[in-house]
Structure 1
Amino acid sequence: MNKFFFVLCLVLLFSFGTAQAQNYSTHKVKQGETIESIAKKYLVTPSDIYSLNPDAQKELRINSVLIIPKSKVSPPKITITKELEGFKKHRTKKRQTLYSLSQQYNVTVEEIKKHNKFLYAEPLRKGDKLQIPIFKVTEVEEVNELTKTYTVLPKEGKWRIAYKFGITVKELEELNPEMGEVLQEGQILNVPNIGDEEEKEVDEQYSYYKVLPKEGFYRLKIKLGLEQTELEALNPILKEGGLKVGMILKIPYSNLANGIIGLDSYKINLVDSITDFNTKHIAIMLPFKLNRVDFDSASDTKKSIQKDPYLNASLDFHSGVLMALDSLKALGVSLKVDVYDTKHEIGEVKHIIDKNDFENVDAVIGPLTPDNFEEVASELRKYNTPVISPIGINLKLYDNVFQSRPSNDLLKKKIVNFVRADTLTSNIIIISDTKNKPVSDDLKREFNYAKQILSRKDKKGEDKYFVSKDDIQDELKPGKNIVFLETQDSGFVSNVTSILASLIQEENKQERKEAIEIVLVTTNINSAFEDDAVDNIHLSDLQFHFATMSRAYNENDNNAFVKKYKQMYNTTPNNRAVKGFDLTMDVVLRLVSSEDLYMSVNEASLTEYVENKFAYKKKLFGGYYNNTVYLVMYDDLTIVEVK
């Protein structure tokens, strides 16, 4: 039994060594060599070498041995040319044959016959006088270049080209330092010089995932639910070179459809992709409820606007729509726009659809409220007219519905994945009030080693929305602590954040105090965190992180939309006005850069405007939902995006 085990080990070791030898070679560094020169010699990129030899990035030592991956470039071709220089006379001796003469003079039998034509009809005899051709032989090695040029196709972004040629986005950028952030159709890029048969096409029936730093097969299994063998079956390149940071992996569509991860860094600028200048017809449906507005005087009208939240929201949103229409006109886009007042009544919605022709409308934006929206979407299914919801969530996703507002589940997953990906975290604490105990329990299932703290209760068992310093201090550890805070009570937010901020501790070697870092997060950002009772300095000190459907624009960026809005309305745009602008720009630019809104989902994977971004995914049986959100944090009293 022991001998059998020993032989089996030898067989496995030999098999592994053979496989490795096929995919890798080694190189001993000589005086004067650089990573660039070594990469050129073996027809690989510097990044290929660094991925297997990370220490070489710090220092390239003479006589050190580097692991060199197998080149993706085809091996050099050798072309042999022969030039006739003259002849040598030969008299055939006994036992000599044409074959032995061909070996003696390094020529072929056919070449001897060609210059001694009698041999085609007669056999070789002793004493025959022959002319043996003498050739000048030249070998030409056609060395393939490491790169070749590639012309960017319509709608192609960096990640698609990187995937096609089996490299990371970073490697593509290294090959093309001047390529820019957004690729243009027809742009010429340098790409690895692999054969056409080795190029991979992006299959829209799959999703694609960008490998993050420090991610191995185990972490990918947890995040994507895929075994190493499954990933290797979909991505054979993994068997050759293993995982590399930034590489693009093909994964089953359902993984991304569930919102696990997105390729958020690859935005498409649709302004540069306008191809259709035919007039597009869109409709805007909003609950202005103008029938209830008092127009007797300016003051009465103002009171009506202030009193009616639907009218207020509709006017804000519509002001952004008007700004978008103006910008689109400047781009040469031709539009027919119908604006309807739904009056927040299903009866009025039915009346609008019955009395107007929607068969040739390219897209409908609105209504705002779920019941009115569902009525429009249901009625317009027969025309396959896309209907886009500006603010609704958990909508009935008919196959013509586009839910532009990301789901709450996606916001939660964004934060959970952020915490899960942080390998420096030493401790996780979940603080919640009684109402959010179910959320706390869900997080506990995600992070089973986390500690739970509930707000204190009075003698009657009612929640008092506070915790003591000791409640939290006892659960903190030296190093990095991530604290979830789940509540909709502003007083509780104020109580917890002030305690947490006081417990942050810098390292003090003299007093033998270890550093305590605290990062605050929440799965549900709400008005409680924005209340005046909450100190923003505390939120900044705690590096408060949260996921949001839209990010606040920075007034210092001198944004053209914000600047023009101020000039026109004498005020800064609120988030409803910005949403009106962003959504209208996105819908129309998708219409004029693709065959229709449905096709644009595949061709424009991610778009971004002033405060909002859109990356639509289709439900297997149903419509489309926005599958991208922002991760932001408080940094020095400013909310910034976390890249």
Structure 2
Amino acid sequence: TKHQTKPTVTPTRPSVSERTLHVGANETYFTHHVTRGETLYSICRRYNVTQQKIKELNPFLHERGIQANDILRIPLVKKEGPRPTRPVTSENTLHVGVEDTYFKHIVTRGETLYSISRRYNVSQKTIIQLNPFLRERSIQPQDVLHIPLAKNSTTKSAVTATRPETSERTLHVGTDETYITHKVSQGETLYSISRRYNVSVDDLKRLNPETEKGLMAGSVLKIPFQDVSKPDDGKVVSSESVATAPVVMPREPKTTYKIAYLLPFMQNNPNDVTAEKFIEFYMGSLLAINNVKNGDMKFEIYSFDTEKTETKIHEIINKPEMQEMDLIVGPAYTIQTPILADFAKRRRINTVIPFSSKVTQVQDNPYLFQFNPDQDTQNDYVRNLIKNKFNNTQIIFVETNNMRWSDDSMDFYSHLKQHFDRQRIGYTLLKAENFANSLNKNLASDRKNILIFNTDDYNTVQNYLTDLYTISNQFDVGVLGQYSWRNYRGKKPKMYYVAPFAGNKLGTQFYEQEFKKYYKDKLPLINPRFDLLGYDITTYFLSLMTRDGFKFNESTQSLNFNRGVQSNFEFKRTGKNGGFVNQQMYLIEDDAVSR
């Protein structure tokens, strides 16, 4: 499963061989040659630009993910970036002075420098410049930050959205109307288009009065949302009123609940191996639903194939049945989260996001539950781990030639190294070029040695792990690694992993019997077990339904679950108007192996 939200790091610039600067009359940009293993997120961090900016220059990314050997246009970062257009709330105050204008923002638990910079649309570097103490330590709850505001900015609330652009349609989100633009193809009619998007022909004509004269191939139509901004009573609910609503889910317990699973089953691409773990997640979820011991409780289960695009999410939330859901589980990919989060907030539907740890919308959306702990929680856990469990340990940072962090990894290296530098804590830095020859000289013989690599790529570290295994009978040596490495075969020294999973590869006897009874398949052996994750998450949220019908309010600050087969949960609210983020993490230790 996935983790992230990287800490503040000065981006590493790629070598000249990887990029070329193009200067023109209208735009200036780099061209970047994508290499194997790179992700859109890692490239954004490298050049210190947003994913949206890269997509604007590379529209094909709205139709598919990046691939090795793609040539991307990367906008040149300007010194002066856009300034925030945030409304003044109880959490931030606008201060206007002769020399500068800024917000005063009080940090709440769960917020990160990254999420705050996204919220106000300013760079992390700019925030640090105005708050110099952040050069010495990371942000903490109750810190008061000065957030710059351009003098020509406005404090009027603005609504922005990631715009998934394809040759057929573009999503537009605004305060008055939210719609897709659809380019009409030869042979299409108003009726066929209305069926495709689950809207009425009258609604299409209302937004497109020119269609009264006929429909022309190549014309562009506005496709309205399917009533996503109206609650059951028909009253329009604005984003602001939802954010301050005192009751998170004011519903009485009932006998039938509707649950939607929005996962990338990839039915149109059966050869996509990434779908397997999401299918297993869904299988475990169905077992949890089947095991609910309440004869009066009924569930209607809906499953939707989200594939990997934003526009697919929009098509799904426009379906009439989605408007009546009691619980949504999904999506899988961070890029799809903003659209579903906005829908959940407008419709007041509790939504569990089981895979991504970069859910910035959870800061001001009380209907979101994020299972994967955010980067700050991960960093706090690892710092305490070093301080307590490894307090008399030599920490060794290993610098490879392939610094890489994908969306499903934890960047311990950057955060810990910065933390050690700020606190003036001693450590050893090894260059990968001389790794094998320098081990005997740099490893301590009188205490434990913990190595941390600057990459999440197992192929890069595999030979180094073999070298460490070879000398593990001479030195007390271990590696704090990525959880995904646990599934790879090969020689490894003592390994330590940090994750929101307990690390067990088998469920309870009852669970394993139920799995074989209904699926008759060989049990999944990949760790973490995604079927167990689906089982635990669904079991917990079903218990909330059957117990009190999701009736908790803003005074509820934490929600705990300690009966998980693979994972327990400790959900904490991010702030007054925020959702919940899981804080539970585990340290998993594997002995040295020679396989």
- Relative contact order: is structure 1 or structure 2 higher (C-alpha 8 Å, sep ≥ 6)? 2
Greater helix proportion? 1
TM-score calculated relative to the size of structure 1:
0.45
The structure having more radius of gyration, on CA atoms, is 1
